[in-house]
Amino acid sequence: MIPVLAKLSALYKWYVLAILTLGYLTAELGHFLIGVTSKATAIDISYGDITCQLNKTEPHFNLTLNDLCTSAQNETSCAALALDDGERFCEWNRNGLGIDYQILAGPSFIAVYTVVGVFLGIAADKYRRIPMVGLCVLVCGVSIILMGGTQQFWHLVVLRMLFAAGEAGLNPMSTGVLSDIFSEELRGLVMSIFNWGIYGGIGLSFPVGRYITELNAWLLGWRVAYYGSGIIALIIGFLTFTTLKEPQRIVIGEEHEEGTGTGQEAAKTKDSAWKVMLQPRFVMLCIAASIRHTGGLCFAYNCDLFYRDTFPHIDLGGWLFFVTFIIGGVGVVFGGIVSDKIVAKMGIKSRVAVLAISQLISTPFAFGSIYMGPVGAMITLAISYLFAEMWFGILFAILVEIVPLSVRSTTVGVFLFVMNNVGGNLPILLEPVRKATSFQDALAIFYAGAYLVSSVLFGITMLLMGKTKPTPPKTNGHPMEGIENGGFTTIERLANPTAHNIESHHL
């Protein structure tokens, strides 16, 4: 019976990974669902641009009629378009785009997400993380359900802000918990699996937002998608509260290599947060990540609307789900595995090299996903996603390795604050560029162009990393049973300076 219990105990850390990943996935589903339901939501509660569009009276899509509708510049000319029998085939209605949508998708969310994230990082330095993660998931679930009941635009904005407050703590706190319970050899892989929750959430938003809305169950339309997503989040939050336990923490990365592993030594560097954040490698990594995040959010917020607008006669919802959910997931996990293998031989610097190379490879395919036809766009998008999405898990593995334990809470919080403010607010510039040029050109600049720029910046960051040592092997004298994202607390270590080698068992 004891061997069975031992095996079950060994599976616990993977159960923690599964629960925290599902919590992150449901939060990201709620985050990006607005991008898929925006047209239906805008028509229902009145926000955004109004244009002339082909209505539903035609049983089959007609490209000629669609072009006639989109060429109408006002309601009068739109209403004048009719078939020979007098039947109107256009409608003057909201399309889900416009500055209202961009504010709803980006700044209203980011304004709260980034600020609350910093405070939650500080709170996690003093209190247990698992209960706070559970509470964050529950806040996300409640706010998603309430979004489904909104009747006015400002209701939706306020609830997006509440939702952002809940999601703000999931990534940093979950990253801390996971880095405590998994060995360093699995660091990149585990971080990548967890961050696959982003792509899982984005991917699920397409079928959930498109097809559940079209079902119009109980005559509720898009609202059912929010109700269902919120209920699932509540279940995951409950499981987080009741089935996970708080781990202890350990120093990792460069700090461990340099031997500054005790709580007393860490405390001596407590006042060096600004010194860490002003290091050229940290600043450049933050800039590069901000630009890359801009490209990712621009595509995530606008891809469904873009492909609906560009290929209105083809339903690409299934393909978008496959590319983001499956290909994106494969890419992020593949990136973690590759970086883990390389870092064992070449050190932390090699992770940044993987970031630079992967983004460079993805760039030409990102341009193809914008300018090619429907088949070519989906093929090149899949290839681009495979390489582009290697970045997120690797990025967090780098952060927890280069930031000292005593100041990790502050530095990681500031890093996320800057990255999300830049990456979350720059996409609002896409709207005026879209109106001045075209949807394609605007995405080429803010999506594919951001990939290219970030690859160059990651390359510069690699040069600034300096000489780093390969990950040292385990020895009997210094077991490394887990790693520490200690930016999320130092209280236990200061209370027990000799506990840094104890095996421990998640926005």
Confidence of residue 157 (pLDDT cuts 50, 70, 90): very high
Answer for the pair 193, 25: CB distance below 8 angstroms, yes or no: no
* Residue 261, both tokens: 């592993």
- Count, in order, helices (H) and strands (E) of the chain: 25, 2
Sequence-distant (6+) residues with CB within 8 A of 168 are 112, 113, 114, 116, 117, 120, 136, 507
Closest CA to 301 of 389, 432, 431, 400: 431
Task: Check pLDDT > 70 for residue 504.
Answer: no
Stronger pLDDT, 130 or 469, i.e. the higher one: 130
- Give the pairing type, strands 50-54 and 90-94: antiparallel
Helix intervals (H) in 62-106: 63-71, 75-80, 99-105
Task: Check pLDDT > 90 for residue 25.
Answer: yes
- The overall average pLDDT reported for the chain is 81
| 279: three-class secondary structure by DSSP | coil
57-66 average pLDDT score? 68
- pLDDT attached to residue 174: 87
Confidence of residue 288 (pLDDT cuts 50, 70, 90): very high
* Residue 437, both tokens: 């040029």
| Cα gap 206→35, rounded to integer Å | 9
* Residue 349, both tokens: 């610097």
Sequence-distant (6+) residues with CB within 8 A of 355 are 288, 390, 391, 394, 395, 398, 458, 461, 462
Stronger pLDDT, 485 or 431, i.e. the higher one: 431
Closest CA to 482 of 61, 177, 32: 177
Quick: pLDDT tens for 394-425.
787 788 778 776 666 667 778 888 898 888 88
Task: Check pLDDT > 60 for residue 264.
Answer: no
Cα Dmax for the chain: 88
Kindly report the backbone phi and psi dihedral angles of residue 127, in degrees, each rounded to the nearest multiple of 5, phi listed first. Answer: -125, 170
- pLDDT attached to residue 61: 64
Least reliable range by pLDDT among 212-216, 229-233, 496-500:
496-500
| Cα gap 105→45, rounded to integer Å | 15
Burial 293-322 (b: 16+ CB within 10 A, else e): bbbbbbbbbbbbbbbbbbeeeeebbebbbb
381-389 average pLDDT score? 91
Answer for the pair 309, 493: CB distance below 8 angstroms, yes or no: no
Sequence-distant (6+) residues with CB within 8 A of 113 are 164, 165, 167, 168, 420, 424, 507
| 82: three-class secondary structure by DSSP | strand
Sequence-distant (6+) residues with CB within 8 A of 257 are 469, 472
Kindly report the backbone phi and psi dihedral angles of residue 82, in degrees, each rounded to the nearest multiple of 5, phi listed first. Answer: -150, 160
Quick: pLDDT tens for 476-499.
444 333 333 333 333 333 334 433
Closest CA to 21 of 145, 163, 204: 204
Task: Check pLDDT > 90 for residue 446.
Answer: yes
| 90: three-class secondary structure by DSSP | strand
290-314 average pLDDT score? 89
Task: Check pLDDT > 50 for residue 216.
Answer: yes
What type of residue is 332?
A: V
| Cα gap 469→87, rounded to integer Å | 73
Crossing angle for the helix pair 129-147 and 170-181, to the nearest 10 degrees:
140
| Cα gap 386→362, rounded to integer Å | 8
Of 1-15, 154-168, 314-328, highest mean pLDDT: 154-168
Least reliable range by pLDDT among 115-119, 122-126, 134-138, 502-506:
502-506
Sequence-distant (6+) residues with CB within 8 A of 18 are none
What type of residue is 220?
A: L
SS (H, E, C) 111-139: HHHHHHHHHHHHHHCCCCHHHHHHHHHHH
Answer for the pair 408, 487: CB distance below 8 angstroms, yes or no: yes
310-335 average pLDDT score? 85
Task: Check pLDDT > 60 for residue 256.
Answer: no
121-139 average pLDDT score? 87
Confidence of residue 177 (pLDDT cuts 50, 70, 90): confident
For 246, which DSSP code? -
